Amino acid sequence: MSESNPHKGRTGIDRIRHATGYSLAGLRAAYSGESAFRQEFWLAIVATPLAFYLGSNWVEVALLLGSLAIVLIVELLNSGIEAAIDRISFERHELSKRAKDLGSAAVMLALLLCGGIWAAALWHRLFA
């Protein structure tokens, strides 16, 4: 007989309420425990009004804001990977290093994508 997760039986509003609580706890944990997330969060806060200035239409504004959101999302996933690896062991291991390096690479690519989108929008706004 297999064990079942007692938390998987929630449905409807009860499930949504608990899921929202877990999500908010995750955001609080990332903000309080991850300096990179805090930096990217405040960058997004400052850049959000600029997106409405730089974007010529709703699609451009959505791309600018979406690229900021992607950075935050990828940083959260990277932090989750790092926490899981650290939970298993602080011992140096090649697979742990690979997992953390891959997460870091994902954040770097998200930042490069975001920077490219913002640079293109800035170029279009100032020089086109």
Distance of CA 53 to the CA centre of its chain: 24
Residues with Cβ < 8 Å from 99, sequence gap 6 or more? 81, 85
3-state helix, strand, coil in the chain (%, to 5): 85, 0, 15
Angle of helix 35-54 versus helix 94-127 axis, rounded to 10: 20
Contact 68, 43 (CB under 8 A): yes
Active-site residues: which are they?
75
Looking at residue 8, its amino acid is K
